[in-house]
Amino acid sequence: MSAPRASTDNSAGAQRAPRTIGWLLLTPLLLWLALFVVVPTAILFVYSFCQRDELGQVVFAFTPTNYARILDPVYLGILGRSLWYAALTTTLCLVIGYPVAYFIGRSPPARRSTLLLLVMIPFWISFLLRTYAWLSLLKGDGLVSALLHGMHLLAGPLDVLYSPTAVILGLVYTYLPFMILPIFTSAEKLDNSMVEAALDLGAGPVRAFTQVIIPLTRPGIFAGVLLVFVPSIGMFAVTDLMGGAKVPMIGNVIQNQFGQARDWPFGAALGISFLALFAITFWFLHDRGEARR
């Protein structure tokens, strides 16, 4: 394939419908999406209007009560708190992750891959295992406590575990790589001559950062915020393990409906509402992102 031909192909390809071979290549993906995204969501949607019997089995009799229950202040309050925790997690991830991503993106290529590897290594270990590791690090007579005592920075026992602080710590730890990686991709592509031009034209470092670097890395920031914010609303394992299951998040409430409470229809209604909320958030963020550009 010669280069110029490929480029003409590409420019025309945007408007042209995919040919048979294209559809054939797409089939596995479409099948996958249909089987594991569309069908389960449809089942969830149907369940959300059903009832449960004494044994907790789903009975196919229409009722809107599951959605009415979500409007109960108990669940709205929990949803509000989940959003707040997710927002806090996202902000912390952005503040911590941005400099890291930028630094990695601007390092020489050889070092870049090493640094990137370091960010990704935790993914090789099971998420639950890493959370349990935090438990033994943070426990009253654990390593962190001993270290702080040794440095005379702490008098009493370390009392972080099983508190909201521990939950936020766990969430930030879990989702930080999801912030770093997309911002890194943007920072890596950042054209240094743009920054230099800004500096030449009299912008100080702060101005160059806010008016050139941030707008150019915005797609990465947008993707990172979405990748952190959305899953951290629904997270339940961290709240259970590191928070001692004391303060429920919306994820715990949903999990409970499919477990202990055996109320699948209510759990499904929560899930569907949640999905709608995600879609709206995405649309809102995306729309604003487009508008700014």
Partner 1 sequence: MKTRLGSLLALGLALGAALDLSAARKEVNLFGWSEYVPQEVLDLFKEETGITVNYETYASNEEMLSKLLGGAGDYDLVQPSEYVVESLVKAGKLAEIDFANVPNIRNINPAYLHRPHDPEQKYSVPYMVGAISIVVNTERVKEPVTGFTDVFSGRYAGRIVSLNDNRELLTWALQTLGRDFNAVTPENIAAARPLLEKWLPQVKIFDSDSPKTKLLNGDVDIGIVWPGEAAILHREDKKFACILPVEGSHVTIDSLVIPQEAPHKAEAEAFINFILRPEISVLISRAFPYTNPNSEACKLLTPEELANPASFPKGVETLPTFKAIGKAAAQVDKLITDLKSGS
Which residues sit at the interface with partner 1, rule CB under 8 A? 52, 54-57, 72, 74-75, 77-78, 81, 139-141, 161-162, 240, 244-248, 253, 256-263, 266
* Minimum gap (Å) between residue 66 Cβ and partner 1: 10
- The nearer residue to partner 1, 213 or 241, going by C-beta atoms, is 241
Count of residues making up the chain? 293
* Minimum gap (Å) between residue 139 Cβ and partner 1: 6
* Minimum gap (Å) between residue 276 Cβ and partner 1: 21
- The nearer residue to partner 1, 250 or 272, going by C-beta atoms, is 250
C-alpha angle with apex 147: 146 to 152, nearest 5 degrees?
95
Q: Angle at which helices 218-234 and 264-292 pack, to 10 degrees?
A: 170
- The nearer residue to partner 1, 72 or 191, going by C-beta atoms, is 72
* Minimum gap (Å) between residue 191 Cβ and partner 1: 49
- The nearer residue to partner 1, 116 or 241, going by C-beta atoms, is 241
- The nearer residue to partner 1, 141 or 200, going by C-beta atoms, is 141
* Minimum gap (Å) between residue 244 Cβ and partner 1: 4
How far is C-alpha 269 from the geometric centre of its chain's CA atoms? Answer: 22
Are the CB atoms for 82 and 253 separated by under 8 Å? no
Give the burial string for 75-105 (b: 16+ CB within 10 Å, else e). beebbeebbebbebbbebbbeebbebbbebb
Are the CB atoms for 236 and 251 separated by under 8 Å? yes
> Which residues are CB-neighbours of 199 under 8 A, at least 6 positions away?
205, 208
Q: Tokens 């707008």: give the residue.
A: 215
Tokens of 154: 């702490």
- The nearer residue to partner 1, 44 or 253, going by C-beta atoms, is 253
- The nearer residue to partner 1, 224 or 265, going by C-beta atoms, is 265
* Minimum gap (Å) between residue 173 Cβ and partner 1: 20
- The nearer residue to partner 1, 39 or 245, going by C-beta atoms, is 245
* Cα 181 to Cα 223: distance, rounded to the nearest angstrom: 9
* Minimum gap (Å) between residue 136 Cβ and partner 1: 9
* Minimum gap (Å) between residue 183 Cβ and partner 1: 34
The conformation of residue 206, written as its DSSP 8-state character, comes to: H
> Which residues are CB-neighbours of 124 under 8 A, at least 6 positions away?
none
Nearest 10 degrees: CA dihedral of 206, 207, 212, 218? 60
Q: Whose CA is closest to 192, among 108, 248, 132?
A: 108
